[in-house]
Amino acid sequence: MKGNHRQWSYAAALSTVLLAATWTLHALETARDAPPAAQSSRVPQAVMPQYDKSGALLLPEDYRRWVMVGSSLGISYSDAPSDHEMFAHTLMEPTAYRHFVETGTFREGTMFALLLQASGDKVLPARRGQFANDVHGVEMAVKDTSHVPEGWAYYGFGGMGSVRGSASAAPKNSCFNCHAEHAARDHVFLQFYPLLTEAAAASKSR
Amino acid sequence: MKGNHRQWSYAAALSTVLLAATWTLHALETARDAPPAAQSSRVPQAVMPQYDKSGALLLPEDYRRWVMVGSSLGISYSDAPSDHEMFAHTLMEPTAYRHFVETGTFREGTMFALLLQASGDKVLPARRGQFANDVHGVEMAVKDTSHVPEGWAYYGFGGMGSVRGSASAAPKNSCFNCHAEHAARDHVFLQFYPLLTEAAAASKSR
């Protein structure tokens, strides 16, 4: 009887462990293989800017896969004509994008990347028009009050085949003042980002 | 003795279950809260095109958050000038993007979205240049041999404030033939997508 009891106990414990392990593996597989729709509906961890020991901003590894919110060609803040009109693409870090779409605010840690690309033309089948060609510059705008007291700071990573991995904040009078004066919302030129405005409006109407 | 043994057995079984449950929860949390870098390093499930019962392509819910691979202004396949130059942005479904970057090939199920946007100007602080404004058209290109024998098909979802949720494939002579003739790789105008070419080259050099 004692032997039987021990056997039952061991068998029960073993099957419990096996069941738990099976369920664990199943749950893990379910979590990992969940369809994209289910994955995107959960709230992802907020991605924040990272700095090196000197306080320089690190260029995020995945910035070229961020969400495109704005695009332009030949935008200039002066009246002087330019011989080298460039395409500019504004990409937004996805978790900050989601936060803005849901709340209408740029949270602490919001990151934008600006891709500056030369303009190409006369490549078949295009007979007219211009397309964005080689990358000539990478810049970032970051809202991080823990890093600079005024919140937003602007960073240039170079370009022309040699994008640097880190950059120090630009002097306040080189970007910040114009953004503070002209931005449609919180230092962001939302007036040039109708895709972002539309996404936020669509989120509200749901 | 029998009582002690039973107690020990129950206690052992219970602690085994609790341990397993704790580990399960921990593993689930780890899987769900993994930092983005770790998440992006695992291979995500391939996202495939979805169709309704009539065979019309469903516009994916998240297409505006896809990876931007190309941009242009006023591209035309004819020499005739246009009064309404439009921005065009090519976005690529992220799992197919990853496949291309790693292999240089467009796998079955590859999806591109083309956003056509009106051109805006004279919005401060921009004194010169043009920016992408309201969305006037949404189109898609999809490689799916199980759906059309020639592989690639092209879909128009309308625009101008009313993007449709589904679209039937365009007649073969409206898009396919030109793509077959002029595309730099497998019916895709890779010649206009230097960001995609660069990402694939960077992947090879790692």
- Is residue A49 included in any domain, yes or no? no
Side chain identity at A206, as an amino acid letter?
R
Strands (E), chain A: 57-58, 67-76, 86-92, 111-121, 128-143, 152-156, 166-167
**pLDDT surpassing 60 at residue A30:** no
Domain that holds residue B22: 2-41
**Of A89-103, A121-135, A182-196, B28-42, highest mean pLDDT:** A89-103
Q: What is the pLDDT of residue B128?
A: 81
The verdict on B14 and B101 lying in the same domain is: no
Task: Give the CATH number of the domain where residue A97 resides.
Answer: 3.50.70.20
**Chain B (84-143) residues lying within 8 Å, Cβ to Cβ, of chain A:** 85, 87, 89, 91, 94, 97, 115, 117, 123-135
- Please state, in angstroms and rounded to a whole number, the distance separating the CA atoms of residues A203 and A201: 5
- Based on the fold, state whether residues B81 and B21 are members of the same structural domain: no
Q: How confident is the model at residue B41 (pLDDT cuts 50, 70, 90)?
A: low
**Secondary structure E strands in B93-186:** 111-120, 128-143, 152-156, 158-159, 162-163, 166-167
Do B188 and B131 reside in the same domain of the chain? yes
Q: Which of B61, B77, B199 sits opposite A37 (nearest CB)?
A: B61
pLDDT surpassing 50 at residue A34: no
Residue B189 contacts A, CB cutoff 8 Å: yes
pLDDT, position B72: 95
Query: Is the residue at A48 inside a domain?
Result: no
Give the predicted TM-score (pTM) of the model.
0.77
Does some domain include residue B49? no
Question: How far is the C-alpha of A141 from the C-alpha of A113, rounded, in Å?
Answer: 7
Window from B65-69, B93-97, B185-189, B196-200 with minimum mean pLDDT: B185-189
Measure CB to CB from residue B129 to each of A6, A67, A74 and give the nearest one. Answer: A74
In a domain, B163, yes or no: yes
Co-location of A18 and A105 in the same domain = no
Residues A198 and A112 in one domain: yes
**Domain shared by B96 and B164, yes or no:** yes
Q: Which of A119-123, A154-158, A168-172, B77-81 has the highest mean pLDDT?
A: A154-158
Q: What is the ipTM of this complex?
A: 0.76
- Give domain status of residue B185, yes or no: yes
- Is residue A117 scored above 60 in pLDDT? yes
Based on the fold, state whether residues A125 and A175 are members of the same structural domain. Answer: yes
Please state which of the ranges A39-43, A144-148, A174-178, B197-201 shows the lowest mean pLDDT: A39-43
User: Residue A147 above 80 pLDDT?
Assistant: yes
Q: In this structure, are A34 and A63 located in the same domain?
A: no
Strands A86-92, A111-121: parallel, antiparallel or unpaired by DSSP?
antiparallel
Q: What's the maximum distance between 2 C-alpha atoms anywhere in chain B? A: 98
Q: What digits encode the pLDDT tens for the residues A55-70?
A: 999 999 999 999 999 9
Q: Which of A33, A47, A178 sits opposite B125 (nearest CB)?
A: A178
What's residue A41's pLDDT?
Answer: 54
Question: How many domains would you assign to chain A?
Answer: 2
* Co-location of A194 and A93 in the same domain: yes
pLDDT, residue A9, reads: 52
DSSP lists the bridge partners of residue A188 as A185
Tell me the residue type at A57.
L
> Is residue A21 scored above 90 in pLDDT?
no
Q: What is the pLDDT of residue B30?
A: 41
Collect all residues of chain A within an 8 Å Cβ-Cβ radius of residue B97: 65
pLDDT at residue B186 is higher than 80: yes
Show Cβ contacts of residue A110 under 8 Å, excluding neighbours closer than 6 positions: A92, A93, A96, A99, A100, A142, A143
Give Cα separations from A87 to A93, A125, A135, B94, B151 (angstroms): 20, 20, 9, 23, 32
Which one of B9, B35, B126 has the shortest CB-CB distance to A9? Answer: B9
Helix (H) or strand (E) holding A21: helix A2-33
Q: Give the tokens for residue B171.
A: 């007649």
Residues B88 and B137 in one domain: yes
pLDDT at A202: 87
Q: Is residue B76 part of a domain?
A: yes
Q: Report the greatest alpha carbon distance in chain A.
A: 98
Co-location of B108 and B151 in the same domain: yes
Q: Which amino acid is at B13?
A: A
Q: Cα–Cα–Cα angle for B69, B35, A43, nearest 5°?
A: 80
ω into B81 cis (within 30 of 0): no
Query: Both A105 and A24 in a single domain?
Result: no
Which residues between 33 and 52 in chain A have a beta carbon less than 8 angstroms from any beta carbon of chain B?
A: 33, 35-37, 40, 42, 44-45, 47
